[in-house]
C-alpha cells in the first residue's frame, strides 16, 4: 500500500501494517480444553497468569514491554489529567481492570463469556461500574500493540468491541509511533479507521469521547 504524506489518512481495517504485524506476533497457547469458559470460571483462577475470555475462549498474555508500558502510562496520565481538571462524569482505568461484555443483557457471572482487560478504558456511565469492575461497553477503549496481544487486539477484540458497542477504539503501535482510531457509526459498525503517524507529520490525535482533549503523538511515544 502506498502511503501519502499527510497528517491523517483513511485505511481499511486490515491494512498493510496489520498484515505485516500478524506475521510477527504469536499468541500464547491455550490449554483449557474445548468447552466455553465464563466469568464465574475466571473468578476461580487464583494463580498469577494474566488471562482474558473472548466468546468463552481463554487467552493468556504476558506483561507489556517497556515501550508499550511507557505509551500506556503517557496516554493514561494525559487523559486522567483532562478528566480530573474538567471534573466530568467519565472515569478512566488502566489494566488490570476487568471489563465484562455480556451478550443479550445477561449479567450473571456464569452467563458472561467475555471478560477483557484493556490497556486503558474510559467509562462515562456510572451504572456500568460495580465492585468487580465494568459491566457493559466502555465509551473508549485503548489497546497498545504488543507481541503477546497484537493479533487478538486487531481481530477477536476488534469484533468483540464492535459487537458490544464501544464508541471509540484506539489501537496504538508503539514501535511505529502511530495510532489508528475507529469510531462507532449509527449502523452499529466501526468506520474504516483513521491512522495518525508521526513519520507523516501528524502531531495530535483528537479524543472524541473526551471533548477538548487531543493527544500529542511526540509526547505519547517519547522515551
Q: Tell me, what CATH number does 206's domain have?
A: 3.90.1570.10
Residue 150 is assigned to a structural domain of this protein? yes
- Whether 178 is in a domain gets the answer yes
Compute CA distances 133 → 49, 91, 160, 197, 206, whole Å. 19, 12, 18, 33, 26
Residue 219 CA to residue 203 CA, distance in Å, equals 9
Which helix H or strand E contains 178, and what residues bound it?
strand 178-183
> Would 127 be classed as within a structural domain?
yes
Q: Around Cβ 29, how many Cβ atoms within 10 Å?
A: 7
Query: By three-state DSSP, how is residue 82 classified?
Result: helix
* Beta-carbon count within 10 A of 73 CB: 15
In a domain, residue 158? The reply is: yes
**Residues 119, 95 contacting (CB under 8 angstroms):** yes
The reply to whether 33 falls in a domain is no
> Which residues contact residue 44 at a Cβ distance below 8 angstroms, ignoring those fewer than 6 apart?
none
Structural domain count of the chain: 1
Tens of pLDDT, residue by residue, the chain (223 residues): 333 333 333 333 333 343 333 333 334 444 455 689 999 999 999 998 899 999 999 998 888 889 999 999 999 999 999 999 988 889 999 999 999 999 888 899 999 999 999 999 999 999 999 999 999 999 999 999 987 788 889 999 999 999 999 999 999 999 999 999 999 999 999 999 999 998 877 789 999 999 999 999 999 998 7
- Domain with 18, as residue range(s), is 8-27+63-98+117-220
Assigned domain for 128 exists: yes
Strand partners, 141: 121, 169
- For residue 47, tell me if it sits in a domain: no
The answer to whether residue 53 is domain-embedded is no
- CA 12/CA 43 separation, integer angstroms: 37
Amino acid at each position: 500500500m502506498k502511503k501519502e504524506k499527510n497528517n491523517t489518512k483513511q485505511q481499511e481495517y486490515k491494512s498493510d501494517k496489520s498484515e505485516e504485524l500478524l506475521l510477527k506476533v504469536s499468541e500464547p497457547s491455550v490449554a483449557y480444553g474445548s468447552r466455553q469458559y465464563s466469568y464465574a470460571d475466571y473468578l476461580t483462577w487464583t494463580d498469577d497468569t494474566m488471562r482474558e475470555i473472548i466468546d468463552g475462549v481463554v487467552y493468556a498474555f504476558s506483561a507489556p514491554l517497556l515501550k508499550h508500558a511507557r505509551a500506556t502510562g503517557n496516554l493514561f496520565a494525559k487523559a486522567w489529567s483532562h478528566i480530573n481538571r474538567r471534573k466530568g462524569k467519565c472515569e478512566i482505568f488502566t489494566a488490570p481492570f476487568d471489563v465484562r461484555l455480556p451478550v443479550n443483557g445477561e449479567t450473571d457471572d456464569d452467563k458472561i463469556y467475555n471478560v477483557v482487560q484493556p490497556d486503558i478504558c474510559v467509562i462515562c456511565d456510572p451504572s456500568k461500574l460495580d465492585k468487580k469492575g465494568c459491566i457493559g461497553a466502555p465509551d473508549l477503549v485503548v489497546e497498545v500493540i504488543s507481541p503477546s496481544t497484537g493479533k487478538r487486539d486487531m481481530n477477536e477484540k476488534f469484533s468483540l468491541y464492535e459487537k458490544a458497542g464501544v464508541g471509540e477504539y484506539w489501537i496504538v503501535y508503539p514501535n511505529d509511533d502511530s495510532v489508528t482510531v475507529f469510531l462507532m457509526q449509527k449502523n452499529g459498525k466501526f468506520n474504516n479507521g483513521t491512522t495518525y503517524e508521526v513519520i507523516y507529520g501528524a502531531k495530535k490525535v483528537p479524543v472524541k469521547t473526551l471533548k477538548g482533549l487531543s493527544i500529542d503523538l511526540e509526547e505519547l511515544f517519547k522515551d
